[in-house]
Every structure is written in structure tokens, then in C-alpha cells.
Amino acid sequence: MKMLLFVVWALLALILCPVHISGVAEESFEVSVWPNQALVEFGQSLVVNCSTTCPDPGPSGIETFLKKTQVGKGPQWKEFLLEDVTENSILQCFFSCSGIQKDTSLGITVYQPPEQVILELQPAWVAVDEAFTVKCHVPSVAPLESLTLALLQGNQELHRKNFMSLAVASQRAEVIISVRAQRENDRCNFSCRAELDLSLQGGSLFQGSSPIKILRIFEFSQTPHIWVSSLLEVGMAETVSCEVARVFPAKEVIFHMFLEDQELSSFLSWEGDTAWANATFRAMEAGDQELSCLASLGPMEQKTRKLVHSYSFPPPILELKESYPLAGTDINVTCSGHVLTSPSPTLRLQGAPDLPAPGESAWLLLTAREEDDGRNFSCEASLEVQGQWLMKTTVIQLHVLYKPRLEESSCPGKQTWLEGMEHTLACVPKGNPAPALVCTWNGVVFDLEVPQNATQNHTGTYCCTATNQLGSVSKDIAVIVQGLDEGISSALFVIITVALGVGVITIALYLSYRPCNVDRRKLLYRQKEEDKKEESQLAVEEEKSTTHIIDSYLIE
């Protein structure tokens, strides 16, 4: 009996012992996956190795919604290729050993570097003191929690934003700020920098930047003003100016000026916050016409218009029946309005006795005299246009032809020269055309241009002849050369004569202004006494003066 129980126990021990060893082996196997942390660029592939410590594994593999392909295997491992990884996922790697299955998971993180960074300035041109928006967004980037966006003005950071704390549903890779425009912001550079930091996931730091955007600031609140005369004369060059004040930047204002539909060529100028354009034009027909000016700066433009009136008013026509008449000839001077003047002007002819009726010519009939040579005649036309009186004048000169004359005033017949002094023969003929003058002395032509050092030999009679196309005239001129003593005596005589004349005038003035209540007899007596004293004093002073003059002359 004991033996039987021992055999049964031995058989049970033999049966149960292998099962216990197998269970211990099954409970101790492990499953692992490589890599233990997966970071995959968007759209790329990933190789995953799944392995176990089970000596004789059963069914095994990976579970994922990604496209997978087994590319290798061994007794205790399998390798898979995951293709076109485009989103984050969790992969399960499993093995079974002696009916027991174990698995492990692998988190796959997809990243996308910020290759395209877009910056928007809204609007691109901003009025001073108006708000503008700076917006930066990255269309494709992952993971957002590792992204930081920074807005820059030049090298200065305006704003920084990260996406760590944002809910997944609201995550958009963008940042928006609002700024108020100032003049100093004009032409400032704005940019956006994106940073994707994957160092915590075992990756690298990726950076991207937007193209630089330039902000334009402007001020354009004033309407352009046109400066031009309200009345324009047909065919005459006129200047028109279009000006804009309180504009910034003034040098970038663009002007377009038009006369009706014709664009004018303009020249631009600016100073400070004022810009203007000047153009020269000609109105070619009479009537009302429109001048317009279009000024633009960036996205803004303003237009102004001005109505001008063009008129036709050529100068009046002044005619002489004969421009070069002979002396004694009757001439007719006519003043008339131009045919292009409308309505007919009012005319006035200088020297005409009466004013003509509107639309009629003015005329003057006269006999040409020698004194009329060089006389100017003027014809004045007046025209009322738009309530303003305009005036045009035409002047013409009359040239009277007459024979030569040798008048005593310009060609004296007796001339005195002082010996030893330089003299020229004084003779200027009159006549039209201007006569030529020739003088002879003792049959020899005398040079009128060269001064002569007077000697007694120059005493004599000179014959001068003036000639033009109408005739000639001759005159004898007697030249007397005085010696030095004679000249001084003559000068002394003239001085004494002048002094006596001054004395007489002084006495007469004194008598005229004496008080009336003085007795006439006493006045005459006193006057005679005073006259005697003054004459004697005057004589002494005159002698001294004459002596001084003579001495000075002799010294010279």
C-alpha cells in the first residue's frame, strides 16, 4: 500500500514538474520596441523593430493604422517599415509566449519645420494716427506646442507668442497685433521669425523667417488747390500750379493736370509738408474751359477742378499811310481793332480829336513836319471781359525825311579857340537821313574827329557842307584863335560883369523887403550909403577873386 502511494506521488511529480517550469518561463518573458521614442518628419517613413525575450514566441506583430510593411524577422524579433507618416499615433507591438500575450506601445510624433512664414501688413499704406495690423502665420507646422512666433520691427522684437497652453482645438499657428501709425514708422521693416524647438523630443531647433514687409505711412487730408488766372488769353503762354498742403511724404505726391481732356506736362516740387506741380499751357480757343488736377499718394487720390475763361484780344492795328514821308507831306494815321477781337474793343488814338464809336476805327490826318521826325503814335484798345477791363497798346514811330540843316545852335558861325588848348570844330548837322559832314580849310579837308592844338595858324574861315539823299547845305565858320592874355582879359571881363549883376539883384531884393513904415527919404539916403559901402566892398572882393583866378590860371 505504501509502495502504491509512493508510485502515484512519483508519477504526479513527474507530470507536474514540467508544467511548473514552463509557467515560470512564460511569466518572465518581455516585449520591447525600437526606437523607444519616435520623431518623424511629416510624410516621411519610420522603421520599427519589435522583439521579445520569449525563447519560442508564438503569434506577434504590430497594430497601427499607418501603412506598414514587414521588412525583416528573426526567432525573437520582427521589423516593420511605416510609410507616409502624416499624423501623431500610438503603435502597439505584441508577442505571445506559451499562450500568454504581452505588448508594448510606441508614441510616434510627427513634426513639420516652419518652412513658410507669412507676414501681412494691413493695410500696406496707413494714415497717420490710424491703426494697422501686423499678422504672422505659418500654414504648415507641427507640433504647435513646440512653436514660438516673434514679430520684429527692424531688429526690435515687438511681440512673442508660444502655443504651450492653448487647447488643441483652438490651435492656429498665427499671431496678430494692432499698432497705431506715426510718421516715424514710415518705411519701417517688419518681419516674423518662427522657431520650432524639438530638443525635448530628442530633435533639433528649426527656424524660419518671413520676407521683410515695408510699412508706408501717409498724411493726405487737404484738397489740392489750383492757382491760375481766371482769364486766359488765347495763344498766350499761361502758368498753372496745383498745390497740396499738409501732406506727408510730400516728395512722393504724384500730380496729373488736365485742360479739358488734354493732359499737361508738369514739373513737380516740394518743400516741407507742401507739394506742388507747375505746368505751362496755351488756350487755343475762346470760351469757358475746365482745368483739373489729380493728386495721389499711395492708395489715396483727390481731384479738384477750376473753370477758366479764354478770350481773344490781339493788339490793335496802327497804320501809317507812309512810314517815311517827306516834310510837308500829308499823312493819315489809322487805329483799328483786330478782326479776332470779340466783341469789338473801344479805341483811342493819341492826338485824335474825337473818340470813335465802338467797332469803328480812329484816325488822324496831319502834315508831316521836320519836328515830327521820331514822333510816336499810340493806339489803345480797351475790352471788357468777365467784368474786367483789359487794355492793349500798339506804338509806331514816324520818320520824317528832310534836307540837311546847319543851325546856329548846333553849328555856330563864329567860334573862339584859346591858343595852346585843344579844340575841335563844333558843328552838328540836322537832317533825315542823317547827313554826312565835310569841312575844308584852305582847300584841305579838316579832320573833325581829332582835337587840334590851337595856334594862330588855325585862325580863318572853314567851309562845312552837310549832305544826304535829299540835298546838301553849306556854311562858313569863322574861327578866331586868341592869345593867352586876351583869353585871361576876356575871362576877367566876364567875371566882373557877373559880379556886378549879382550885386544889382541883391540891392533890388533888399529894397523890396524893407518895412513899409520907414520913411522914404531916410530909406533912400540910407540905401545910397549902404550901396556905396557894398559897392566898394564888392569891388575889393571881386579884385581879390579875379587876381586869385588869374594867378591860378598862370600857375597851371
pLDDT of residue 63: 93
Alpha-carbon span 120 to 143, nearest angstrom: 23
Task: Record the pTM.
Answer: 0.57
Closest by CA to 151, choosing from 212, 107, 197, is 212
Residue 70 sits at φ, ψ, to 5 deg, of: -75, 125
pLDDT in tens, the chain (556 residues): 333 333 333 333 333 334 333 444 445 899 999 998 899 999 999 999 999 999 999 999 999 999 999 999 999 999 999 999 999 999 999 999 988 999 999 999 999 999 999 999 999 899 999 999 999 999 989 898 899 999 999 999 999 998 876 554 456 899 999 999 999 989 999 999 999 999 888 889 999 999 999 999 999 999 999 999 989 999 899 999 999 999 999 999 999 999 999 999 999 999 999 999 999 999 988 889 999 999 999 999 999 999 999 988 889 999 888 878 998 898 888 998 888 777 778 888 887 777 777 778 888 888 889 888 888 989 998 888 888 888 999 999 999 999 999 999 999 999 999 999 999 999 999 999 999 999 998 888 988 888 989 999 889 999 999 999 999 999 999 999 998 655 444 444 445 555 676 665 655 555 444 443 434 334 344 544 555 554 455 444 444 433 333 333 323 3
Q: Tell which CATH architecture fits domain 221-308.
A: Sandwich (2.60)
Class of domain 317-398: mainly beta
pLDDT of residue 21: 37
Say which residues have a Cβ less than 8 Å from residue 54's Cβ, sequence separation at least 6: 26, 29, 76, 95, 96, 97, 98
Half-sphere exposure in the Cβ direction for 39 (13 Å, CA)? 13
pLDDT of residue 530: 53
Q: What are the extents of the domains in the chain?
A: 31-111, 118-218, 221-308, 317-398, 403-482
pLDDT of residue 539: 43
- Residue 51: CB atoms within 10 A of its CB come to 20
Closest by CA to 276, choosing from 241, 239, 252, 227, is 241
Q: What is the 3-state secondary structure (H, E, C) of 258-301?
A: EECCEEECEEEEEECCEEEEEEEEECCCCEEEEEEEEEEECCEE
pLDDT of residue 82: 94
Closest by CA to 69, choosing from 84, 80, 79, is 80
If one looks up domain 403-482 in CATH, what number appears?
A: 2.60.40.10
pLDDT of residue 25: 47
pLDDT of residue 507: 59
Q: Tell which CATH architecture fits domain 118-218.
A: Sandwich (2.60)
pLDDT of residue 523: 36
CATH superfamily of 31-111: Immunoglobulins (2.60.40.10)
Closest by CA to 173, choosing from 191, 212, 146, 152, is 146
Specify whether the CB–CB gap between 217 and 181 falls below 8 A: yes
Residue 494 sits at φ, ψ, to 5 deg, of: -65, -40
pLDDT of residue 193: 96
pLDDT of residue 170: 55
